[in-house]
Amino acid sequence: MSAPASQPFASRGTKADIENGLSFQPKFDGDGLIPAIVTDASTGEVLMFAFMNAHALKLSIDTGIAHFWSRSRAALWKKGEESGNFLNIVEMRTDCDQDVIWVRVDVAGDGRACHTGERSCFYRVIKSSSDADEAAALTVAADACRHD
């Protein structure tokens, strides 16, 4: 089954096709987005989470550089375009339902994937409180780079 020229991906098929077939049939949400989890290809470290629309996903596949859809700016976003920390794709996978993308990357530039200057966007730890009335607090993870 091939996608029409205006649609870069195959149409969604049966559950069996989606779960066991080899046709890429991504499931975009009501806003036309699909979640993307980005990890370091060498270490497996989770670097970031973002969304892709069909255009960003196609550009990522075609160019080998991760592109996303910025919900806050309502614009296509080529990660690293301003910082030089491009996300060079080593491998892309999808889950069993084809509704999430896993992007394994090598980070170019100074190796920092987060716009704050951290290597990973996940640089804070959520600490639970023993007091049920106290709100959870954040601490900086021991492995955070803190802009060194």
- Degrees, nearest 5: CA angle 59-122-142: 140
Which residue numbers belong to the known binding site for Zn(2+)? 96, 114, 121
Output the DSSP codes for 16-55.
HHHHH-SS------TTS-EEEEEEETTT--EEEEEEE-HH
pLDDT recorded at residue 128? 81
Which residue numbers belong to the known binding site for Mg(2+)? 95, 97, 99
Min mean pLDDT across 85-94, 119-128, 137-146 is at 137-146
Band the pLDDT of 29: cuts 50, 70, 90. Answer: very high
State pLDDT tens for residues 42-94. 999 999 999 999 999 999 999 999 999 999 999 999 999 999 999 999 999 99
Which residue numbers belong to the known binding site? 95-97, 99, 114, 121
**CA 51/CA 100 separation, integer angstroms:** 9
For the chain, give every domain's residue range.
15-116
In CATH terms, the fold of domain 15-116 is Ubiquitin-like (UB roll) (3.10.20)
Band the pLDDT of 137: cuts 50, 70, 90. Answer: confident
pLDDT recorded at residue 148? 54
First CA to last CA distance, the chain: 50
Residue bearing tokens 């870069």: 8
pLDDT recorded at residue 6? 61
Q: Give the predicted TM-score (pTM) of the model.
A: 0.89
pLDDT recorded at residue 52? 98
